[in-house]
Each structure stands twice: as structure tokens, then as C-alpha cells.
Chains A and B, each alone.
Chain A
Amino acid sequence: AQTVTQSQPEMSVQEAETVTLSCTYDTSENNYYLFWYKQPPSRQMILVIRQEAYKQQNATENRFSVNFQKAAKSFSLKISDSQLGDTAMYFCAFMKQGNNDMRFGAGTRLTVKP
């Protein structure tokens, strides 16, 4: 079974600074996908970034980038130039290729302070 672990229940960062959220996962699969979702107070689940395991290059979306270490089964999210609107719960998720369900971590609550 695949498990996803987010070891930081809460984090905070000053506005305009950089923060990294950690995520590790456990799987015996070789082909899979990894995601970071953001859940602001509105509780909407918003896709932040996605990584295919077969790609060595780390995914980047504007201020959001990942550090994907396949051998270490690590998938951290870096948020640069943090903004107040980044305050949210962040969930790391894993999905095996060809499968239907995503496995989510327990989440990290990020607070961006002015």
C-alpha cells in the first residue's frame, strides 16, 4: 500500500520569504504521479503542482517548485516570495499510474505572516 507522510503539521513564514514543505512517500511502484494541493480557508482543493515520476526535471509553476528525489521517495514543495494568499493547508498526494485513487498526506498548515 502506498502511504504519504507530511511530517510538519504547521509552519509559518514571513511574507516575501521562502518556505519548503516536506513530503515523503512509500511505494514499490516505478510509475506514478505526485501532486501538491492547496486548501485555503474556503476549503476548495486547488491543484498547485504535479510531477510525473518518470521525469527527472523538477516541476515548476511560477513561485512554486518541487524537489523530487525519486530514490529517497521525497517530494518537497518550495514556495518563493511567499504571499499572504498562500496561507492554507497544503496536501501532498500520490497516485499510481493507471490507478484511480489518490493517497493524501495529513497536510501542513502554512501561515504567511505580514
Chain B
Amino acid sequence: NAGVMQNPRHLVRRRGQEARLRCSPMKGHSHVYWYRQLPEEGLKFMVYLQKENIIDESGMPKERFSAEFPKEGPSILRIQQVVRGDSAAYFCASSPRTGHTDTQYFGPGTRLTVL
């Protein structure tokens, strides 16, 4: 059973460009979470999605950031018009069950560098 997959592992963008980060949850998992980790800090929750639905986006900046988890394909975290402050590691996690708090399994992360 493959773990949570994220790609790319490293992404370099210039200010003003768009960044697209992809996450494929573990097989059988229908819940996806995105976290951001700034250097030397812990992870900060951004958004929680189920298939075709955003359940909780309370941690996501109101502008430039969006997330989706379509019926088919990976979850996408999209950052428009990136700025240097967006440079961070972005982690995706998945969990299997509905209506329960369950363990989240993390992907290897995508390290975004904004030049």
C-alpha cells in the first residue's frame, strides 16, 4: 500500500507566478489535509477536504490560496501570484474514516522556494 504521494518534491517559482502542489492520498483514504511548515516551526493547518468538498478552510489565507479534491485525481493546492513569504514546506496528510478523528498519515512534503 503506497503511502501519501506528493509532487513535486521541490518547486521553485518567481514572484508573481503560480504554484500547483499535488497530493495523492493513501489508497482507501478519502480525507485530505494540507499543512504549511515555515523554517524552524511546527506545521500549521490550512485546509481539510473530502472528495469534491472543502470541509474546513479556516487555516488558509483568504487570498491567492485555493484547494480542491476532485472526484478523480489528486488534491491540488494552488497558490496564485506567489510572494517570498510563501516559501515553505507544504505537507499533505490523509485519513480513512468519516465522522471520526483518526490518525493522519503524511506525505513527504513539497518544498516551495519563491525567488
Contacts and interface: CB of A to CB of B under 8 A. Distances in A.
Interface in B52-96: 55-56, 58-59, 89, 91, 93
Contact of B48 (A96, A100, A104): A100
A38 to B, nearest CB: 11
A45 to B, nearest CB: 4
Contact of B105 (A47, A93, A103, A105): A47
B108 A42 contact: yes
Interface in A77-114: 91, 93, 95-107
Contacts of B111: 43
A105 B42 CA distance: 6
Interface residues of B, number: 25
Contacts of A4: 42
A97 B43 CA distance: 19
A100 B33 contact: yes
Nearest to B99: A98
A52 B59 CA distance: 24
B101 A99 contact: yes
Contact of B108 (A44, A95, A105): A44
Interface of A: 4, 33, 35, 37, 42-47, 50, 91, 93, 95-107
